Amino acid sequence: MEATTALRTNGAVRGFTDDPVSDAVVAELLDDARFAPSGGNQQPWRVAVVKSPEVRAAMAALMRPVWEEYQGAQRAGKRAFAFGRSTGDAPVAVPNALIDDIQSVPVVLAVAADLTKIAIMDGNQDRRPPVVGGASIYPFCWSILLAARARGLGGVLTTFLSRAEAEAAPVLGLPADHALVATIFLGVPTHQNTKLRRNPVSSFATVDRFDGPPLTDER
């Protein structure tokens, strides 16, 4: 698959067929993804390939209240978890295939980052939260999803479990000074959305300054 095609068509997949994905294929995806960039080439990633029904059940139990809190905020017309805050709205129970059917998802990856290896270049700013450190781990996550797409697989990067990191840490054996950055679900898609809704370049790119004139393809 052309790189540009993969970049433009890698929509989130949350429904999977019963087709299994072998450990060999998962290892291939990780073998591709390890070429992702990271600050200082520190490669801070760790991956737990979660197969145990007990561990999966525990993960789902921790994700569910986060999902319901998110739904509660959405229903109230608010942006959930902005600056890490709760909106205080009542949680709303809504089905979620990833959580409800976690046992049947072909591949569940818990991804962690070794914080001792990440230079948090905006960690000195008064504004919170620091965000630059994530750039040393999320390209790796996205590369897993692109590697999956290249093989006819699909998936989605999720972060619900990060909100319950303290509770998830003992379940997953998260090492000290590591952050739980993502749970990635993968499998053969029941449907691959390739027509993605994304804002046009003109909506976010300007020249010289963020308040500069819009970038156009006419210059």
Which residue ranges make up the site for ligand FMN (CB under 6 A)?
11-12, 156-160, 193, 196-197
Alpha-carbon dihedral of residues 95, 97, 102, 103, nearest 10 degrees? 100
Burial environment of residue 192 by CB neighbours within 10 A (0 to 12, 13 to 18, 19 or more): middle
Q: What's the rounded Cα separation, in Å, for the pair 103 and 109?
A: 13
Nearer to ligand FMN, 55 or 182 (CB): 182
Q: How many CB atoms lie within 10 A of CB 54?
A: 8
CB of 196 to ligand FMN, least distance (A): 5
CB of 28 to ligand FMN, least distance (A): 22
SS3 content of the chain, % helix, strand, coil (to 5): 40, 15, 45
Nearer to ligand FMN, 48 or 215 (CB): 48
Name, in order, each residue with C-beta under 8 angstroms of 215's C-beta and a sequence gap of 6 or more: 201, 202, 205, 206, 207
Nearer to ligand FMN, 87 or 159 (CB): 159
Q: What's the rounded Cα separation, in Å, for the pair 148 and 59?
A: 23
CB of 11 to ligand FMN, least distance (A): 4
CB of 24 to ligand FMN, least distance (A): 27
CB of 10 to ligand FMN, least distance (A): 7
Burial environment of residue 156 by CB neighbours within 10 A (0 to 12, 13 to 18, 19 or more): middle
Nearest to ligand FMN by Cβ — which residue? 158
